[in-house]
Protein backbone atom coordinates (compact mmCIF):
# COMPACT_ATOMS: atom_id res chain seq x y z
CA UNK A 1 0.00 0.00 0.00
CA UNK A 2 1.40 3.36 -1.03
CA UNK A 3 -0.12 6.80 -0.46
CA UNK A 4 1.23 9.68 -2.48
CA UNK A 5 0.35 13.28 -1.72
CA UNK A 6 1.27 16.45 -3.59
CA UNK A 7 0.74 19.76 -1.82
CA UNK A 8 1.04 22.96 -3.82
CA UNK A 9 0.64 26.66 -3.20
CA UNK A 10 2.53 29.86 -2.63
CA UNK A 11 5.53 30.41 -0.35
CA UNK A 12 4.37 31.50 3.12
CA UNK A 13 1.16 29.44 3.15
CA UNK A 14 2.68 26.61 5.17
CA UNK A 15 2.82 24.15 2.27
CA UNK A 16 6.09 22.54 3.34
CA UNK A 17 4.95 22.40 6.99
CA UNK A 18 1.80 20.57 5.84
CA UNK A 19 3.92 17.91 4.13
CA UNK A 20 6.40 17.61 6.99
CA UNK A 21 3.64 17.16 9.57
CA UNK A 22 2.13 14.34 7.53
CA UNK A 23 5.53 12.63 7.41
CA UNK A 24 6.29 13.16 11.09
CA UNK A 25 2.92 11.73 12.09
CA UNK A 26 3.41 8.77 9.75
CA UNK A 27 6.85 8.14 11.25
CA UNK A 28 5.46 8.26 14.80
CA UNK A 29 2.24 6.35 14.19
CA UNK A 30 3.32 3.67 11.71
CA UNK A 31 6.37 1.66 10.71
CA UNK A 32 5.93 2.59 7.07
CA UNK A 33 8.54 4.12 4.78
CA UNK A 34 8.17 7.89 4.57
CA UNK A 35 9.75 10.28 2.06
CA UNK A 36 9.29 14.03 1.72
CA UNK A 37 10.65 16.13 -1.12
CA UNK A 38 10.22 19.91 -1.29
CA UNK A 39 10.39 22.14 -4.33
CA UNK A 40 10.25 25.89 -4.07
CA UNK A 41 11.30 29.00 -5.91
CA UNK A 42 13.84 31.50 -4.60
CA UNK A 43 11.37 34.04 -3.18
CA UNK A 44 10.78 33.99 0.58
CA UNK A 45 7.12 34.83 -0.04
CA UNK A 46 4.97 34.82 -3.15
CA UNK A 47 6.90 32.23 -5.16
CA UNK A 48 5.72 28.72 -5.85
CA UNK A 49 6.06 26.19 -3.08
CA UNK A 50 5.18 22.53 -3.28
CA UNK A 51 6.15 19.23 -1.77
CA UNK A 52 5.74 15.54 -2.40
CA UNK A 53 4.95 13.05 0.37
CA UNK A 54 5.03 9.27 -0.01
CA UNK A 55 3.94 6.92 2.77
CA UNK A 56 4.45 3.29 1.79
CA UNK A 57 4.70 -0.31 3.00
CA UNK A 58 7.62 -0.85 0.62
CA UNK A 59 10.81 1.22 0.27
CA UNK A 60 9.98 4.42 -1.58
CA UNK A 61 11.30 4.68 -5.15
CA UNK A 62 11.22 8.18 -6.53
CA UNK A 63 10.90 10.96 -3.95
CA UNK A 64 8.71 12.70 -6.56
CA UNK A 65 5.72 10.53 -7.45
CA UNK A 66 4.78 10.76 -11.12
CA UNK A 67 1.08 10.73 -10.16
CA UNK A 68 -0.40 11.28 -6.72
CA UNK A 69 -3.43 9.80 -4.96
CA UNK A 70 -4.11 13.12 -3.29
CA UNK A 71 -3.41 16.66 -4.45
CA UNK A 72 -3.89 19.58 -2.08
CA UNK A 73 -3.90 23.07 -3.59
CA UNK A 74 -3.78 26.48 -1.94
CA UNK A 75 -3.68 28.65 -5.08
CA UNK A 76 -5.15 28.85 -8.59
CA UNK A 77 -1.65 28.50 -9.99
CA UNK A 78 -1.14 25.23 -8.09
CA UNK A 79 -4.59 23.97 -9.11
CA UNK A 80 -3.80 24.49 -12.79
CA UNK A 81 -0.32 23.04 -12.52
CA UNK A 82 -1.04 19.98 -10.38
CA UNK A 83 -4.59 18.83 -11.13
CA UNK A 84 -3.21 16.61 -13.90
CA UNK A 85 -0.74 15.03 -11.47
CA UNK A 86 -3.71 13.34 -9.77
CA UNK A 87 -4.41 9.66 -10.34
CA UNK A 88 -7.86 8.90 -11.80
CA UNK A 89 -10.20 8.33 -8.85
CA UNK A 90 -7.90 10.37 -6.63
CA UNK A 91 -8.96 13.27 -4.45
CA UNK A 92 -8.32 16.95 -4.94
CA UNK A 93 -8.42 19.18 -1.84
CA UNK A 94 -9.02 22.82 -2.70
CA UNK A 95 -8.76 25.85 -0.43
CA UNK A 96 -11.77 27.63 -1.91
CA UNK A 97 -11.02 30.87 -0.09
CA UNK A 98 -8.10 31.46 -2.48
CA UNK A 99 -8.81 29.14 -5.42
CA UNK A 100 -11.46 30.84 -7.55
CA UNK A 101 -11.05 28.41 -10.43
CA UNK A 102 -12.46 24.91 -10.76
CA UNK A 103 -10.72 21.76 -11.87
CA UNK A 104 -11.21 20.43 -15.41
CA UNK A 105 -10.93 16.86 -14.15
CA UNK A 106 -14.16 14.87 -14.02
CA UNK A 107 -12.58 11.58 -12.93
CA UNK A 108 -11.51 12.70 -9.46
CA UNK A 109 -13.18 13.56 -6.15
CA UNK A 110 -13.07 17.15 -4.99
CA UNK A 111 -13.12 18.26 -1.36
CA UNK A 112 -13.66 21.99 -1.00
CA UNK A 113 -12.41 23.58 2.21
CA UNK A 114 -12.59 27.35 2.83
CA UNK A 115 -9.45 26.99 4.96
CA UNK A 116 -8.19 30.56 4.54
CA UNK A 117 -11.58 32.00 5.44
CA UNK A 118 -11.91 29.80 8.55
CA UNK A 119 -8.42 30.80 9.63
CA UNK A 120 -9.13 34.50 9.17
CA UNK A 121 -12.37 34.18 11.17
CA UNK A 122 -10.26 32.64 13.92
CA UNK A 123 -8.05 35.71 13.77
CA UNK A 124 -4.89 34.20 12.27
CA UNK A 125 -4.61 33.47 8.55
CA UNK A 126 -1.51 31.36 9.18
CA UNK A 127 -3.47 28.41 10.55
CA UNK A 128 -5.15 27.80 7.17
CA UNK A 129 -2.71 24.98 6.48
CA UNK A 130 -3.61 23.23 9.72
CA UNK A 131 -7.30 23.57 8.93
CA UNK A 132 -6.66 21.96 5.54
CA UNK A 133 -4.50 19.28 7.15
CA UNK A 134 -7.42 18.48 9.45
CA UNK A 135 -9.76 18.20 6.47
CA UNK A 136 -7.25 15.99 4.68
CA UNK A 137 -7.01 13.62 7.64
CA UNK A 138 -10.77 13.72 8.29
CA UNK A 139 -11.47 12.71 4.70
CA UNK A 140 -8.69 10.24 3.98
CA UNK A 141 -8.26 8.68 7.42
CA UNK A 142 -4.71 7.69 6.42
CA UNK A 143 -3.29 8.68 9.82
CA UNK A 144 -4.73 9.00 13.35
CA UNK A 145 -5.75 12.65 13.91
CA UNK A 146 -4.20 12.80 17.39
CA UNK A 147 -0.79 11.78 16.00
CA UNK A 148 -0.95 14.49 13.37
CA UNK A 149 -1.89 17.08 15.96
CA UNK A 150 0.91 15.82 18.23
CA UNK A 151 3.36 16.35 15.38
CA UNK A 152 2.08 19.91 14.98
CA UNK A 153 2.46 20.62 18.68
CA UNK A 154 5.96 19.16 18.71
CA UNK A 155 7.22 21.19 15.79
CA UNK A 156 5.41 24.49 15.24
CA UNK A 157 3.96 24.47 18.75
CA UNK A 158 7.39 24.02 20.32
CA UNK A 159 8.44 27.55 19.41
CA UNK A 160 5.07 29.17 20.16
CA UNK A 161 3.23 27.20 22.88
CA UNK A 162 0.64 29.98 23.13
CA UNK A 163 -0.56 29.02 19.63
CA UNK A 164 -1.33 25.47 20.69
CA UNK A 165 -5.05 26.06 21.26
CA UNK A 166 -5.38 27.99 18.01
CA UNK A 167 -3.63 25.26 16.03
CA UNK A 168 -5.82 22.63 17.62
CA UNK A 169 -9.01 24.54 16.88
CA UNK A 170 -8.06 25.06 13.22
CA UNK A 171 -7.17 21.39 12.86
CA UNK A 172 -10.43 20.26 14.52
CA UNK A 173 -12.57 22.49 12.30
CA UNK A 174 -10.87 21.02 9.24
CA UNK A 175 -11.22 17.50 10.59
CA UNK A 176 -14.98 17.97 10.85
CA UNK A 177 -15.26 19.32 7.29
CA UNK A 178 -13.21 16.39 6.02
CA UNK A 179 -15.33 13.84 7.88
CA UNK A 180 -18.55 15.44 6.58
CA UNK A 181 -17.23 15.41 3.02
CA UNK A 182 -16.35 11.74 3.45
CA UNK A 183 -19.85 10.93 4.77
CA UNK A 184 -21.49 12.87 1.92
CA UNK A 185 -19.29 11.07 -0.57
CA UNK A 186 -20.16 7.67 0.93
CA UNK A 187 -23.89 8.52 0.85
CA UNK A 188 -23.72 9.50 -2.84
CA UNK A 189 -22.08 6.23 -3.94
CA UNK B 1 15.83 2.73 18.02
CA UNK B 2 14.74 6.34 17.91
CA UNK B 3 13.99 7.56 14.43
CA UNK B 4 14.34 11.23 13.59
CA UNK B 5 12.97 12.90 10.49
CA UNK B 6 15.86 14.65 8.77
CA UNK B 7 16.85 16.32 5.55
CA UNK B 8 19.64 14.51 3.69
CA UNK B 9 22.14 17.38 3.98
CA UNK B 10 21.54 17.88 7.70
CA UNK B 11 21.71 14.14 8.32
CA UNK B 12 25.09 13.99 6.56
CA UNK B 13 26.42 16.80 8.77
CA UNK B 14 25.10 15.21 11.97
CA UNK B 15 26.51 11.80 10.98
CA UNK B 16 29.89 13.46 10.33
CA UNK B 17 29.91 15.04 13.78
CA UNK B 18 28.98 11.72 15.37
CA UNK B 19 31.83 10.10 13.40
CA UNK B 20 34.19 12.59 15.05
CA UNK B 21 34.42 15.34 12.43
CA UNK B 22 35.71 18.46 14.20
CA UNK B 23 36.54 20.70 11.26
CA UNK B 24 34.51 21.85 8.30
CA UNK B 25 35.38 24.49 5.74
CA UNK B 26 33.14 25.23 2.80
CA UNK B 27 31.47 27.81 0.63
CA UNK B 28 27.75 28.16 -0.10
CA UNK B 29 26.27 26.56 -3.19
CA UNK B 30 22.83 25.04 -3.84
CA UNK B 31 21.79 22.25 -3.20
CA UNK B 32 24.21 21.54 -0.32
CA UNK B 33 23.81 24.72 1.77
CA UNK B 34 22.16 22.87 4.64
CA UNK B 35 25.43 21.00 5.26
CA UNK B 36 27.56 24.09 6.13
CA UNK B 37 24.54 25.74 7.76
CA UNK B 38 24.11 22.76 10.07
CA UNK B 39 27.84 22.51 10.81
CA UNK B 40 28.04 26.23 11.59
CA UNK B 41 25.59 25.74 14.44
CA UNK B 42 26.57 22.27 15.57
CA UNK B 43 30.39 22.16 15.36
CA UNK B 44 31.01 24.80 18.07
CA UNK B 45 28.82 22.72 20.41
CA UNK B 46 31.29 19.83 20.20
CA UNK B 47 34.43 21.97 20.33
CA UNK B 48 34.91 21.85 16.57
CA UNK B 49 35.74 24.55 14.05
CA UNK B 50 33.48 25.78 11.26
CA UNK B 51 34.92 28.06 8.63
CA UNK B 52 33.21 29.64 5.67
CA UNK B 53 36.04 30.23 3.27
CA UNK B 54 36.13 33.08 0.75
CA UNK B 55 35.80 30.51 -2.03
CA UNK B 56 35.72 26.78 -2.70
CA UNK B 57 39.41 26.91 -3.59
CA UNK B 58 40.27 28.41 -0.21
CA UNK B 59 37.91 26.10 1.72
CA UNK B 60 39.45 22.97 0.23
CA UNK B 61 42.93 24.29 1.00
CA UNK B 62 41.81 24.88 4.60
CA UNK B 63 40.60 21.29 4.69
CA UNK B 64 44.05 20.20 3.49
CA UNK B 65 45.58 22.09 6.41
CA UNK B 66 43.15 20.72 8.99
CA UNK B 67 43.48 17.15 7.71
CA UNK B 68 47.27 17.49 7.86
CA UNK B 69 47.04 17.86 11.65
CA UNK B 70 45.46 14.39 11.92
CA UNK B 71 41.98 15.39 13.03
CA UNK B 72 38.78 14.24 11.34
CA UNK B 73 37.79 16.92 8.84
CA UNK B 74 35.38 17.37 5.96
CA UNK B 75 34.13 19.66 3.22
CA UNK B 76 31.12 19.60 0.94
CA UNK B 77 30.09 21.37 -2.19
CA UNK B 78 28.15 20.79 -5.37
CA UNK B 79 29.42 19.93 -8.85
CA UNK B 80 30.97 23.17 -10.19
CA UNK B 81 32.04 23.97 -6.61
CA UNK B 82 33.75 20.58 -6.41
CA UNK B 83 35.54 21.42 -9.66
CA UNK B 84 36.99 24.49 -7.95
CA UNK B 85 38.16 22.25 -5.11
CA UNK B 86 39.81 19.72 -7.39
CA UNK B 87 43.27 21.30 -7.05
CA UNK B 88 43.31 20.78 -3.27
CA UNK B 89 41.66 17.35 -3.58
CA UNK B 90 44.57 16.29 -5.79
CA UNK B 91 47.04 17.71 -3.28
CA UNK B 92 45.36 15.82 -0.44
CA UNK B 93 45.62 12.58 -2.41
CA UNK B 94 49.20 13.57 -3.19
CA UNK B 95 50.00 14.02 0.49
CA UNK B 96 47.81 11.11 1.75
CA UNK B 97 45.54 13.22 3.94
CA UNK B 98 42.53 11.49 5.55
CA UNK B 99 39.56 13.75 4.82
CA UNK B 100 35.97 13.35 3.64
CA UNK B 101 34.59 15.22 0.63
CA UNK B 102 30.88 15.28 -0.13
CA UNK B 103 29.46 16.29 -3.49
CA UNK B 104 25.70 16.99 -3.46
CA UNK B 105 25.60 17.11 -7.21
CA UNK B 106 23.56 19.26 -9.56
CA UNK B 107 23.26 19.75 -13.30
CA UNK B 108 26.28 20.51 -15.46
CA UNK B 109 28.61 21.10 -17.17
CA UNK B 110 29.84 24.38 -15.74
CA UNK B 111 27.28 26.22 -13.64
CA UNK B 112 24.61 23.94 -15.16
CA UNK B 113 21.52 24.16 -13.00
CA UNK B 114 20.78 24.06 -9.29
CA UNK B 115 18.54 21.03 -9.81
CA UNK B 116 19.72 17.53 -8.84
CA UNK B 117 21.65 15.40 -11.29
CA UNK B 118 24.14 12.53 -11.57
CA UNK B 119 26.46 14.16 -14.06
CA UNK B 120 29.62 13.97 -11.91
CA UNK B 121 30.20 10.22 -12.11
CA UNK B 122 33.42 10.41 -14.14
CA UNK B 123 34.71 13.31 -12.08
CA UNK B 124 34.11 11.43 -8.83
CA UNK B 125 35.38 8.01 -9.88
CA UNK B 126 38.12 8.76 -12.38
CA UNK B 127 39.40 12.32 -12.38
CA UNK B 128 38.73 14.46 -9.31
CA UNK B 129 42.01 16.22 -9.98
CA UNK B 130 45.23 15.77 -11.92
CA UNK B 131 47.65 12.90 -11.64
CA UNK B 132 45.37 9.89 -12.00
CA UNK B 133 44.60 9.30 -8.32
CA UNK B 134 41.43 7.48 -7.24
CA UNK B 135 39.32 7.59 -4.11
CA UNK B 136 36.79 5.36 -2.41
CA UNK B 137 33.46 6.75 -3.60
CA UNK B 138 30.20 6.11 -1.77
CA UNK B 139 26.85 6.62 -3.53
CA UNK B 140 23.89 6.70 -1.09
CA UNK B 141 20.33 6.34 -2.32
CA UNK B 142 18.41 7.07 0.89
CA UNK B 143 18.91 9.50 3.77
CA UNK B 144 19.70 6.56 6.07
CA UNK B 145 22.42 5.39 3.70
CA UNK B 146 23.79 8.92 3.49
CA UNK B 147 24.10 8.83 7.29
CA UNK B 148 25.70 5.38 7.45
CA UNK B 149 28.11 6.03 4.58
CA UNK B 150 29.23 9.40 5.96
CA UNK B 151 29.95 7.75 9.30
CA UNK B 152 31.97 5.00 7.66
CA UNK B 153 33.74 7.39 5.29
CA UNK B 154 35.65 8.92 8.22
CA UNK B 155 36.85 5.51 9.41
CA UNK B 156 37.96 4.56 5.91
CA UNK B 157 39.75 7.88 5.41
CA UNK B 158 41.71 7.16 8.59
CA UNK B 159 42.27 3.51 7.68
CA UNK B 160 43.84 4.32 4.31
CA UNK B 161 45.10 7.84 5.19
CA UNK B 162 43.48 9.05 2.01
CA UNK B 163 40.55 11.26 0.96
CA UNK B 164 37.17 9.49 0.81
CA UNK B 165 34.43 10.83 -1.43
CA UNK B 166 30.65 10.76 -1.05
CA UNK B 167 28.79 11.32 -4.31
CA UNK B 168 25.19 12.16 -3.65
CA UNK B 169 22.74 14.47 -5.39
CA UNK B 170 20.29 17.29 -4.75
CA UNK B 171 17.35 14.91 -4.36
CA UNK B 172 19.00 12.95 -1.57
CA UNK B 173 20.33 16.17 -0.05
CA UNK B 174 16.98 17.93 -0.01
CA UNK B 175 14.61 15.07 0.75
CA UNK B 176 13.55 14.20 4.27
CA UNK B 177 13.27 10.63 5.59
CA UNK B 178 13.26 9.00 9.02
CA UNK B 179 16.77 8.01 10.11
CA UNK B 180 18.42 6.22 12.99
CA UNK B 181 21.56 8.15 13.88
CA UNK B 182 24.78 6.33 14.81
CA UNK B 183 26.37 6.74 18.27
CA UNK B 184 28.69 9.66 19.02
CA UNK B 185 32.36 8.69 18.81
CA UNK B 186 33.86 9.20 22.24
CA UNK B 187 36.42 11.93 22.96
CA UNK B 188 38.77 9.17 24.19
CA UNK B 189 38.54 7.37 20.85
CA UNK B 190 39.25 10.58 18.93
CA UNK B 191 42.12 11.54 21.25
CA UNK B 192 43.73 8.11 20.80
CA UNK B 193 43.46 8.47 17.04
CA UNK B 194 45.01 11.95 17.10
CA UNK B 195 47.82 10.56 19.25
CA UNK B 196 48.46 7.74 16.78
CA UNK B 197 48.36 10.23 13.91
CA UNK B 198 51.24 12.16 15.50
CA UNK B 199 53.47 9.65 13.69
CA UNK B 200 52.90 11.59 10.47
CA UNK B 201 50.73 14.65 11.17
CA UNK B 202 51.92 18.21 11.65
CA UNK B 203 51.46 19.02 15.33
CA UNK B 204 53.79 22.00 15.78
CA UNK B 205 57.51 21.79 16.54
CA UNK B 206 57.10 21.97 20.31
CA UNK B 207 60.70 23.18 20.70
CA UNK B 208 62.13 20.25 18.75
CA UNK B 209 64.69 21.07 16.04
CA UNK B 210 62.70 19.25 13.38
CA UNK B 211 59.02 18.51 12.94
CA UNK B 212 56.90 16.61 10.46
CA UNK B 213 56.25 18.29 7.17
CA UNK B 214 53.35 17.39 4.94
CA UNK B 215 54.37 17.32 1.33
CA UNK B 216 52.46 16.50 -1.79
CA UNK B 217 54.07 13.47 -3.42
CA UNK B 218 54.68 11.49 -0.24
CA UNK B 219 53.03 8.63 1.54
CA UNK B 220 52.26 9.27 5.20
CA UNK B 221 54.73 12.13 5.30
CA UNK B 222 57.62 9.90 4.19
CA UNK B 223 59.56 11.33 1.26
CA UNK B 224 60.07 9.02 -1.64
CA UNK B 225 60.53 9.26 -5.39
CA UNK B 226 57.21 10.22 -7.01
CA UNK B 227 57.07 7.05 -9.06
CA UNK B 228 57.32 4.99 -5.88
CA UNK B 229 54.42 6.97 -4.35
CA UNK B 230 52.38 6.42 -7.52
CA UNK B 231 53.10 2.68 -7.35
CA UNK B 232 52.15 2.43 -3.69
CA UNK B 233 48.93 4.36 -4.33
CA UNK B 234 48.16 1.99 -7.19
CA UNK B 235 48.79 -1.03 -4.97
CA UNK B 236 46.30 0.45 -2.51
CA UNK B 237 43.69 0.92 -5.28
CA UNK B 238 44.25 -2.72 -6.27
CA UNK B 239 43.77 -3.83 -2.65
CA UNK B 240 40.49 -1.91 -2.61
CA UNK B 241 39.30 -4.21 -5.41
CA UNK B 242 39.55 -7.06 -2.91
CA UNK B 243 38.60 -5.33 0.32
CA UNK B 244 36.35 -2.41 -0.51
CA UNK B 245 33.99 -3.58 -3.24
CA UNK B 246 30.40 -3.03 -2.16
CA UNK B 247 27.26 -3.73 -4.13
CA UNK B 248 23.84 -5.30 -3.81
CA UNK B 249 22.00 -7.62 -6.14
CA UNK B 250 18.49 -8.94 -6.21
CA UNK B 251 17.05 -11.75 -8.30
CA UNK B 252 20.02 -11.96 -10.68
CA UNK B 253 20.19 -15.80 -10.61
CA UNK B 254 17.24 -16.47 -12.91
CA UNK B 255 17.14 -13.04 -14.53
CA UNK B 256 16.59 -12.57 -18.23
CA UNK B 257 17.07 -8.83 -17.90
CA UNK B 258 19.20 -6.82 -15.49
CA UNK B 259 18.43 -3.29 -14.43
CA UNK B 260 21.43 -1.54 -12.95
CA UNK B 261 21.76 1.89 -11.38
CA UNK B 262 23.49 3.72 -8.51
CA UNK B 263 22.56 6.45 -6.02
CA UNK B 264 19.17 8.13 -6.39
CA UNK B 265 18.46 6.30 -9.67
CA UNK B 266 18.96 2.95 -7.91
CA UNK B 267 15.99 3.42 -5.57
CA UNK B 268 13.75 4.33 -8.51
CA UNK B 269 15.12 1.40 -10.54
CA UNK B 270 14.50 -0.96 -7.62
CA UNK B 271 10.85 0.06 -7.46
CA UNK B 272 10.60 -0.52 -11.23
CA UNK B 273 12.11 -4.01 -10.78
CA UNK B 274 9.51 -4.80 -8.13
CA UNK B 275 6.66 -3.86 -10.51
CA UNK B 276 8.15 -5.73 -13.46
CA UNK B 277 8.53 -8.89 -11.36
CA UNK B 278 4.88 -8.68 -10.31
CA UNK B 279 4.02 -8.50 -14.02
CA UNK B 280 5.97 -11.72 -14.60
CA UNK B 281 9.19 -10.39 -16.10
CA UNK B 282 12.34 -12.11 -14.89
CA UNK B 283 14.24 -9.00 -13.97
CA UNK B 284 17.30 -8.77 -11.74
CA UNK B 285 18.87 -5.76 -10.08
CA UNK B 286 22.49 -4.72 -9.54
CA UNK B 287 23.36 -1.63 -7.58
CA UNK B 288 26.93 -0.52 -6.79
CA UNK B 289 26.99 0.85 -3.23
CA UNK B 290 30.48 2.23 -3.75
CA UNK B 291 30.98 3.38 -7.33
CA UNK B 292 34.75 3.24 -6.91
CA UNK B 293 36.12 0.61 -6.77
CA UNK B 294 33.55 -0.48 -9.36
CA UNK B 295 31.94 -3.86 -8.49
CA UNK B 296 32.91 -5.67 -11.69
CA UNK B 297 32.35 -9.01 -9.97
CA UNK B 298 28.58 -8.33 -9.78
CA UNK B 299 28.42 -8.27 -13.58
CA UNK B 300 30.99 -11.06 -14.07
CA UNK B 301 28.79 -13.45 -12.07
CA UNK B 302 25.83 -13.07 -14.44
CA UNK B 303 24.64 -15.96 -16.58
CA UNK B 304 24.91 -14.25 -19.95
CA UNK B 305 23.36 -17.20 -21.79
CA UNK B 306 19.99 -16.26 -20.23
CA UNK B 307 20.25 -12.50 -20.58
CA UNK B 308 18.23 -10.48 -23.08
CA UNK B 309 19.98 -7.33 -22.02
CA UNK B 310 21.20 -4.98 -19.30
CA UNK B 311 19.45 -1.68 -18.73
CA UNK B 312 21.46 1.17 -17.20
CA UNK B 313 19.43 3.94 -15.56
CA UNK B 314 21.17 7.18 -14.63
CA UNK B 315 20.52 10.91 -14.53
CA UNK B 316 23.26 11.85 -16.93
CA UNK B 317 23.14 12.62 -20.64
CA UNK B 318 25.47 11.53 -22.14
CA UNK B 319 25.69 8.44 -19.89
CA UNK B 320 28.74 7.88 -17.67
CA UNK B 321 28.00 5.00 -15.27
CA UNK B 322 26.88 3.04 -18.37
CA UNK B 323 30.46 3.14 -19.71
CA UNK B 324 31.75 1.27 -16.65
CA UNK B 325 29.00 -1.34 -17.14
CA UNK B 326 29.85 -1.67 -20.84
CA UNK B 327 33.53 -2.10 -19.98
CA UNK B 328 32.84 -5.11 -17.78
CA UNK B 329 30.03 -6.64 -19.88
CA UNK B 330 32.24 -6.58 -23.02
CA UNK B 331 29.37 -7.05 -25.47
CA UNK B 332 28.20 -10.29 -23.84
CA UNK B 333 24.69 -8.79 -23.63
CA UNK B 334 22.94 -5.86 -25.33
CA UNK B 335 23.05 -2.72 -23.17
CA UNK B 336 20.17 -0.28 -23.06
CA UNK B 337 19.89 3.04 -21.29
CA UNK B 338 17.19 5.04 -19.54
CA UNK B 339 18.53 8.54 -19.03
CA UNK B 340 17.51 11.97 -17.78
CA UNK B 341 19.72 14.95 -17.24
CA UNK B 342 19.97 18.61 -16.30
CA UNK B 343 17.80 18.45 -13.20
CA UNK B 344 15.03 16.16 -14.44
CA UNK B 345 14.27 13.13 -12.29
CA UNK B 346 14.29 9.70 -13.89
CA UNK B 347 10.74 8.30 -13.95
CA UNK B 348 9.88 4.79 -12.85
CA UNK B 349 7.48 4.46 -15.78
CA UNK B 350 10.30 5.34 -18.18
CA UNK B 351 12.54 2.64 -16.67
CA UNK B 352 9.71 0.11 -16.95
CA UNK B 353 9.08 1.06 -20.57
CA UNK B 354 12.78 0.88 -21.49
CA UNK B 355 13.08 -2.49 -19.68
CA UNK B 356 10.13 -3.96 -21.59
CA UNK B 357 11.58 -2.74 -24.88
CA UNK B 358 14.92 -4.38 -24.12
CA UNK B 359 13.16 -7.53 -22.88
CA UNK B 360 11.30 -7.77 -26.19
CA UNK B 361 7.88 -7.11 -24.73
CA UNK B 362 5.30 -9.81 -25.07
pTM: 0.96
Q: List CB contacts of B87: < 8 A, sequence separation 6 or more.
A: B57, B60, B129
**Interface contact flag, A61 B178, Cβ < 8 Å:** no
Q: What is the mean pLDDT of residues B338-354?
A: 95
The Cα A66–Cα A87 span in angstroms is 9
Q: What percent of chain A has pLDDT over 70?
A: 99
What is the number of residues in chain B? 362
Q: Rounded to a whole number, what is the distance in Å from the CA of A44 to chain B's nearest CA?
A: 16
Of A20, A37, A62, the CB nearest to B348: A62
Angle subtended at Cα B184 by Cα B181 and Cα B185, rounded to the nearest 5 degrees = 135
**Interface contact flag, B3 A38, Cβ < 8 Å:** no
Tell me, what's the ipTM? 0.95
For residue B176, give the chain A residue with the closest CA.
A36
Q: List CB contacts of B251: < 8 A, sequence separation 6 or more.
A: B273, B277, B282, B283, B284, B285
**Interface contact flag, A38 B174, Cβ < 8 Å:** yes
pLDDT tens column, B4-43? 999 999 999 999 999 999 999 999 999 999 999 999 999 9
- B235 pLDDT more than 70: yes
- B108 pLDDT more than 70: yes
Q: List CB contacts of B225: < 8 A, sequence separation 6 or more.
A: none
Q: What is the mean pLDDT of residues B228-237?
A: 96
Q: List CB contacts of B207: < 8 A, sequence separation 6 or more.
A: none
Residues of B in contact with A24 (CB under 8 A): 5
pLDDT for B362 equals: 46
pLDDT tens column, A147-165? 999 999 998 878 888 889 9
pLDDT for B319 equals: 98
pLDDT tens column, B53-66? 999 999 999 999 99
pLDDT for B342 equals: 87
Residue B58's φ and ψ, nearest 5 degrees, are -65, -40
Concatenate the DSSP letters of all residues of B148-175 into one string: HHHHHHHHHHHHHTS-EEEEEEHHHHH-
- Which of B4, B34, B177, B270 is the best substitution to test chain A (most A C-beta atoms within 10 A)? B177
**Interface contact flag, B271 A66, Cβ < 8 Å:** no
Residue A119 lies in domain: 2-188
Q: What percent of chain B has pLDDT over 90?
A: 91
Q: Is B4 helix (H, G, I), strand (E, B) or coil?
A: strand
Q: What is the mean pLDDT of residues A22-50?
A: 91
Q: Rounded to a whole number, what is the distance in Å from the CA of A100 to chain B's nearest CA?
A: 31
Q: Rounded to a whole number, what is the distance in Å from the CA of B132 to chain A's nearest CA?
A: 35
pLDDT tens column, A162-188? 889 999 999 999 999 999 999 999 898
Residue pair B271/A61 in contact (Cβ under 8 Å)? The answer is yes
- B316 pLDDT more than 60: yes
| CATH code at position A23 | 3.40.920.10
Q: What is the mean pLDDT of residues B144-167?
A: 98
Residue B361 pLDDT grade (very low, low, confident, very high; cuts 50, 70, 90): low
Mean pLDDT score of chain B, rounded to an integer?
96
- B253 pLDDT more than 60: yes
**Interface contact flag, A62 B174, Cβ < 8 Å:** no
**Interface contact flag, B176 A36, Cβ < 8 Å:** yes
pLDDT for A4 equals: 98
The number of angstroms, rounded, from the C-alpha of B31 to the middle of its chain's C-alpha atoms is 16
Q: What is the mean pLDDT of residues B173-186?
A: 98
Residues of A in contact with B142 (CB under 8 A): 59
Which range (A10-14, A134-138, B48-52, B272-276) has the least confidence? A10-14
Q: Rounded to a whole number, what is the distance in Å from the CA of B62 to chain A's nearest CA?
A: 30
**Interface contact flag, B176 A27, Cβ < 8 Å:** no
Alpha helices in B224-262 (DSSP H): 226-243
pLDDT tens column, B87-106? 999 999 999 999 999 999 99
Q: Rounded to a whole number, what is the distance in Å from the CA of A121 to chain B's nearest CA?
A: 33
**Interface contact flag, B171 A36, Cβ < 8 Å:** no
Angle subtended at Cα B128 by Cα B269 and Cα B41, rounded to the nearest 5 degrees = 80
Q: What percent of chain B has pLDDT over 70?
A: 99
The Cα B109–Cα B119 span in angstroms is 8
The Cα B153–Cα B150 span in angstroms is 5
- Which of A59, A61, A150 is the best substitution to test chain B (most B C-beta atoms within 10 A)? A61
A34 touches chain B (CB under 8 A): yes
Domains, chain B, ranges and CATH? 4-188 (3.40.50.970), 247-359 (3.40.50.920)
What domain count does chain A have? 1
Other Cβ atoms within 10 Å of A175 Cβ, number: 21
Amino acid sequence: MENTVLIGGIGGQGILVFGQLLCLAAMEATDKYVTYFPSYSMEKRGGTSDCYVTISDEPVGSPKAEKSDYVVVFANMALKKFQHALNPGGTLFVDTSVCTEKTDRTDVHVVEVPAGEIAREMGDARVANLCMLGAFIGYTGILPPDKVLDAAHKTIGAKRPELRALNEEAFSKGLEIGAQAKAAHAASV
Amino acid sequence: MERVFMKGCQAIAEAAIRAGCRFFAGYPITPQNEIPEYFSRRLPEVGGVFLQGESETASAAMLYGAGATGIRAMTSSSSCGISLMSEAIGWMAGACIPVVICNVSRGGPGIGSIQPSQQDYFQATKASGNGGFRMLVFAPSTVQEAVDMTYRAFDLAQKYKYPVYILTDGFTGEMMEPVVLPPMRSEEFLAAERKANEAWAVRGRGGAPKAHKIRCGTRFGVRCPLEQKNKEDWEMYERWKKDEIEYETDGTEDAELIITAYGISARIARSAVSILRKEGYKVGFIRPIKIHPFPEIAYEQLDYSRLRGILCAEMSIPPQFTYDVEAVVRKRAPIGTCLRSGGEIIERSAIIEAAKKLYGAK
